[in-house]
Structure 1
Amino acid sequence: MPERIKFTASRVGSLPIQAKEYAVWDEATPGFGVRVYPSGQRRYVYRYRAGASRSAPARMVTIGDVRKLGLEDARRVARDLAGQVARGGDPSAEKRQSELDRVRKRPFADVRDEFLTKYVDPRLRPRTAAEYRRILTYLFEPLANKPFDEVTRADIADALHGIAERGIRQANLARAVIRKMFSWARSVGLCDENPVRDTAPAGRDVRRERVLSLDELGLIYRAALEPDDTYGAAVRFLMLTGQRRSEVFEMPHSEVDVAERLWRLPAERTKNRRPHDVPLSPAALAILASRRHGRDLVFSTAHGTVFGALSKAKRRLDAKVLELQRAVDPAASPLPRWTLHDLRRSFVTHAHDQLGVDIPVIERAINHISGTFGGIVGVYNRAPLLKERRAAFDAWDRLLTHAAGLGLSGIESVSLNSNRVAEAAL
């Protein structure tokens, strides 16, 4: 096929399809041509150099589909483009900029959803991805319909100020998440600057240091003994094992090794991505035995999903605790605010102070590696300390149930004989 031909409508429409795409140029109009693709498409194009010298980079602009645009109309467009080039213009660059401007005018919500789909979901753990989605969808909802390239530092600062009224930690977390989103958007060309970069953190995030006393733990344990109370059972299991909230509430029955009295957490479910075996005390095994309901998750809803109404359930538990307090002292005040994570800190503190458990054993017990087992020690010392951890959990079981006024004959202590406990769990 010759490179240059005299264009007619019939000739352009019948250019042959080949295995590779190729271009044919019009003899009458310099730079005006047709590209023919293996798929059968034929498109009018205009070719030029973006500059006066012969070394200037070559550019090509697509004019339109041969089937939809007449030859003379396409030729007029090519001549208009030639005029722009003669005046020093660069039609290809201008077209790209116009497309970029159009993309950047998309609403904040569209870019947010693209960020969640393309960056967050493939890279982050499901729980973390869900938190990103919650923050960007609900906390920054006022920005949803604003053109993305018009979101300013003032907009971000104003949104963060409103979030800070709910809590400093929440605001600082929200700032980190939206900063990551704008960094990603900048990396893919959706914005030139990150408006979050020069905003100030909401304030110092003060770490919680609440350690519940044994009396407080005993009250909560007793209040959580209501029959068929999924949340209460999970809270007691948290207290007995000292593990993380997500690990307990998302725990499947398949992770429980009743014969070995172990809860075997796989690496993909732990924060540090290391498998973790948790020795199960008699009371912990008894809780698991009571949760045999035919659903995959130990502490699931009636529909088999992860228990999610934590705040509402926590308020009910607090009310039950206060009821127990006022049965003894009608003028009793509610317990100072406590969280589920405080139970983990309380386990660590009392295991060391009350039971004399060594710190290395405690760190192995809660699968924590940044302290004694951080650095070179964590690399070379892989001793599981299983015997010591089992003794610690059994001693903690006795101390906690005693604080709850249950003793060895209490509701949780089905039996201290591991064989009978295993049979009950089956």
Structure 2
Amino acid sequence: MLTDTKIAAIKPPEKGQQEHPDHKVTGLRLRVGAGGAKTWTLRRRVREKVLNRKLGTYPAMKLAAARIAAEKLIEALERDGSGAGIDRTFRAAAEAWIEAKKRPDGIRRQLEMHVLPEWGERKLGDIKRAEVRELIQGLEGEVLPNRVLATIKTIFGYAISQDWLEASPADRIEPPNKEKARDRVLAMGEVARVWNAATLLGYPVGPWVQMLILTAQRRSEVAGMRWVDLDLDAATWTITASDTKAKRAHLVPLSPTAVEIIKAMPVVGDYVFSTTARGPIRGFAKSKRLLDQWLESKGSGLTEPWRFHDLRRSAATHMVRLGIPELVVSRVLNHRVQGVTGQVYALHSYAPEKRHALDAWAAEVDQAVNGVRGGNVVSIGRK
């Protein structure tokens, strides 16, 4: 009978491979090659076929772990005849659920933004309850964590209905308590500290944070900024209706500072801020942790907790303080426009006023960062 001691003592054959069966789990074998590699496999007859499946390598997978993996695969083989469910990734399960249930594009975007970067290639059975809780706790906002948790639970439930999974790691995880409406506004000194810490992060997270500050747009909208939507000669950024929370196209005038930052970006794909050249920047919670670490390392951490969305609220609050009418600030933020005329012509209406507001805000950031008034260009590299 195999033991870890006996396995460690097995010498490789001079040529070819040798198999050492486990007498506790029928079909589990340790395959030892001439080069010394030791591989766990399961050989099992399923209906009319004999399947051979690799489970892992020794010593990374010890005997006890190999037996557990073999028993799980045997159960899967008995359920569906192929064991495909045991290897199915969260991404594959999510795609199958979206297709089967005809879920809207918004659900797909929610998963792509908040879940798939963490779990996309993870096997369904490998995701633990603690990881579900950690992911949900890392999301910001009053509604988003609850919605993402509901989506995750539904996907795991669908996987169970298809015999890809026995139990859901999201079961009995309660939705986060509804938070009180946030009113956190960063003082200009705090804005400057966040700006300087972002400079230290480098591309793409650092410039992305600085654009959050300067444009006052939502984090997902800035993350999804595409080169095709920019007109740097006219200093404008058009967010298409499909990319805004409000489902309305939105024209964002760009201050000279914002244009300077964008022109300094490498072009690595369709998106201005990207780590893969295939999609926009992801993992906001991780980016926030990195930013806070830089703030702490420089001894300039913020005394009160803050979130990325607070940058948007702070920009709006300070624009009002600078004398910008609330109606104009509302247009900058792309809040709901009342009336048919306002909705139809919302894209270009108030464009000069919005430009003035964002230019004034950039000048205020300039003064906070560099301590000089009189321009609206912030030196990107200065701290």
Aligned equivalent of 1:129, options 111, 114, 122:
111
Q: What's the TM-score, normalizing by structure 1?
A: 0.53
Who is 1:299 aligned against? 273
Deviation, 1:223, is 3.1
Aligned residues of 1:109 and 1:145 also touching (Cα < 8 A): no
Identity over the aligned pairs, expressed in percent?
Answer: 27
SS of the residue 2:199 aligns to = coil
Cα distance change on mapping 1:108 and 1:311 into 2, 3 Å: same
Q: Residues of 1 paired with 2:312 and 2:219: CA distance?
A: 9
1:163 to 2:163 alignment: no
1:205 is the counterpart of 2:146: no
Spell out, residue by residue over 1:320-375, the C-alpha distance to the aligned partner (whole angstroms, 9 max, x if none): 43455x4xxxxx764433222211111122222x1232333222212222xxx257
Q: Does 1:386 align with 2:351?
A: yes
1:358 aligns with 2:340: no
| CA RMSD after TM alignment | 4.8
Counting matched residue pairs gives: 291
The code of the aligned residue for 1:385 comes to: Y
Q: Which residue number corresponds to residue 45 of structure 1?
A: none
1:64-143 matched pairs, under 5 angstroms:
116-120=94-98, 123-125=104-106, 126-130=108-112, 134=116
Which of 396, 415, 422 pairs up with 2:361?
396
The one of 247, 251, 257 equivalent to 2:225 is 251
Q: 1:378 to 1:298 in 2, by over 3 A?
A: same
Please tell me the residue identity of whatever aligns with 1:290: A
Structure 2 residue ranges without an equivalent (≥5): 1-78
| Contact kept? 1:164, 1:171, Cα under 8 Å | no
Q: Distance in 2 between matches of 1:231 and 1:289?
A: 16
Amino acid in the other structure paired with 1:144: G
In the alignment, structure 1 segments of 5+ residues that lack a partner are 1-100, 147-157, 327-331, 415-426
Distance 1:184 1:267 in 2: 31
Aligned to 2:262: 288
Letter in 2 for 1:351: M
Give, in whole Å, the separation in 2 of the partners of 1:136 and 1:319.
21
Deviation at 1:316, TM superposition (A): 4.3
Question: What CA distance in whole angstroms lies between the structure 1 residues aligned with 2:364 and 2:177?
Answer: 36
Distance verdict in 2 for CA 1:248–1:109, change over 3 Å: same
Deviation of residue 393 (structure 1)?
A: 0.6
Provide the C-alpha distance between the structure 1 equivalents of 2:192 and 2:266, rounded to a whole number of angstroms. 25
CA distance in 1, matches of 2:375, 2:273: 25
Larger Rg belongs to: 1
2:250 & 2:284 partners in 1: Cα distance? 25
- The offset of 1:251, in angstroms, is 1.7
Residues 225 and 174 (structure 1), Cα distance of their counterparts in 2 relative to 1, 3 Å cut: closer
TM-score w.r.t. length of structure 2: 0.58
